[in-house]
Amino acid sequence: MASNSYLIVGAGVFGVSTAYTLIRKYPNASVTIVDRDAYNADSRVAASWDWNKVIRADYDDIIYCRLALEAQDIFEQDPLYQPFFHKSGIYWMCRTDYATQVVENYRKLGRKAQIEAVSVKEARKLYGGLFEDADYSDVTEVLVNKTSGWANAGDALKAVTKKCIELGVKYVVAETQSLAFNGGRCTGIRMRKGDTLSADKIILSTGAFTAKLLEQAAKASNKPEISAGGRIIAGGITTGMTQLDEESYKRFANMPVAVQSWNPTIVSPTRDRELKWWGQKIFKNTQNILGKRISAPPPESDYAQWKVAAPLKEDIDFANNIFYGKNGANWKMEKHRICWDAFTSSSDFIISPHAGAEGLYVATCGSFHGYKFFPVLGKYVVQMLEGELEEELAWKWAWDRERPDERLNAEFPRWEMRDLMGKQARL
C-alpha cells in the first residue's frame, strides 16, 4: 500500500525516476522533489545533468548487464526516452578479459546483439581506421557492440522531470541543510532558509552531496548513526568538449563511443559537431566537515564545476592523445566541466532503508555509471520502499552490507583534487 506522501531530495536520475514511478503507480499520492536547481536551469550540479552520457549494457557483472538491457530497451522503445537515444555503438579497448565476459553475459541472458570481442589487429581496421593510432599498450582485445550508444543526458532528464510535474509531482527549488526527526523517525528535511518540509517517507537521492548532508543531519540532531560513516565518497572527474570543423565531422560523424580501460572515454559527436571527453583521474575533495574528514564537492552553490584548473584540462588532452594520437593533436577543447557523483567502494548503488532512522531511505551512488539505468531506477527504488526488492539486489544495494577494499576498485576516487591542481600534479 502506498504511503500518503513521499519527499524525494535530489532531482537527478535516481530521484526523478523514483518520482515518475511513484506518481504513475499512485496517482493520488503526494510526491515532492526538492532540488537546489530548477529542472530546466541552464546549469545544474546533478551528475546526470550533462551534455551526453553513455548508454550500454556492457558489464562483466551479469546483474548490471541485465538491468542495463532492461533500461536500454526503454530508451529504444518508449516515446518519452526514445528521442534522446543514439545507437552509435561502442569500441572498448580492454586490458583484461572484460570483452569476453561481456559477450558471455549476453549469451547467458539469451540476448542477441551485434557484439563481439575482436583482436587488436582486427580492431585497428574497423570504422575506417579511426582508432588506428590509439594507444593499445597491454590491450588484449577490443569489445565492439553496435547496439550500445549514448543519450542527450540533460535533455532526457528535463523531459522526464517535466512529465512528472504534468502528472502531479511537486517540484520545489530549495537547498537542503539537514533532516528533521521525531524520536527515531525521520519526518522531513530542513532547508537552508529555515523552512521544513515533511512526508511519510524521505528518500535521499542527493548524489555527491549525500555524505555531507548526512553529517550535517547527524550533528544537528545528535544522532551519530545518521552519518554515512565512510560508506559514501564524493568523487569528481573532468570532462571536456571540442567542436569539430566540417571536414573533421565528415570523418567522425559515425564513430562509436570509445573507452580505454578504465576511465578515459570519448562520446560520439552530437548534431552540433561536439565531441565529449572524460579524463583519466577520478578524485576526492576531502575537507573538514564538522570535525570529520569527508569528501564533498566545493562549497559554491554550483560546485564550482566550471572553474577547471589548467592541470585538470591537461587530463583531457591526455585522453585525446591516447585515442587519436596525431589525428586529434590540433583539436581545441572549447568547454570544460567537473562532474561530481557519489561512490561506494564496490561501485554498487545504495538503494536501501537507512539503518539509522525509520522513514529515511537512500537511493544514490551512481559511481559515474548510474545514468544508463535512468528508465528503471525508480522501479527498483519503489520495490525497495515497499519491501519487494529481490534478495540479491537488496543485498547488493544495502546500506549496511560489507564492502570490498576500495583499493581493489580501479574506478574509485583515489586522487585528491588539491594535489592534482598543485605544482607537483602529474596528469
H/E stretch holding 122:
helix 120-123
Query: How many structural domains comprise the chain?
Result: 1
130: containing domain: 5-416
**424 in a domain, yes or no?**
no
Tell me the CATH number at 397.
3.50.50.60
Buried b (16+ CB within 10 A) or exposed e, 247-256: ebbeebeebb
H/E stretch holding 236:
strand 233-243
**371 in a domain, yes or no?**
yes
Q: 415 - beta bridge partners?
A: 283
Cell of 299: 562549497
Cα–Cα distances in angstroms (integers) from residue 49 to residues 13, 60, 254, 340, 348, in the given order:
9, 26, 24, 11, 20
**93 in a domain, yes or no?**
yes
**35 in a domain, yes or no?**
yes
Q: What angle do CA 270, 271, 273 make, to 5 degrees?
A: 65
Per residue of the chain (427 residues), give pLDDT as tens. Answer: 456 899 999 999 999 999 999 999 999 999 999 999 999 999 999 999 999 999 999 999 999 999 999 999 999 999 999 999 999 999 999 999 999 999 999 999 999 999 999 999 999 999 999 999 899 999 999 999 999 999 999 999 999 999 999 999 999 999 999 999 999 999 999 998 889 999 999 999 999 999 999 999 999 999 999 999 999 999 999 999 988 888 888 888 899 999 987 667 889 898 888 989 888 899 999 999 999 999 999 999 999 999 999 989 888 888 877 888 776 666 778 899 999 999 999 999 999 999 999 999 999 999 999 999 999 999 999 999 999 999 999 999 999 999 999 999 989 999 999 999 865 444 4
Q: Locate all alpha helices (DSSP H) within 301-409, ordered by sequence.
A: 310-324, 374-385, 391-396
Q: Is 230 left (phi over 0), alpha (psi -120 to 50) or beta?
A: left
**115 in a domain, yes or no?**
yes
**422 in a domain, yes or no?**
no
**69 in a domain, yes or no?**
yes
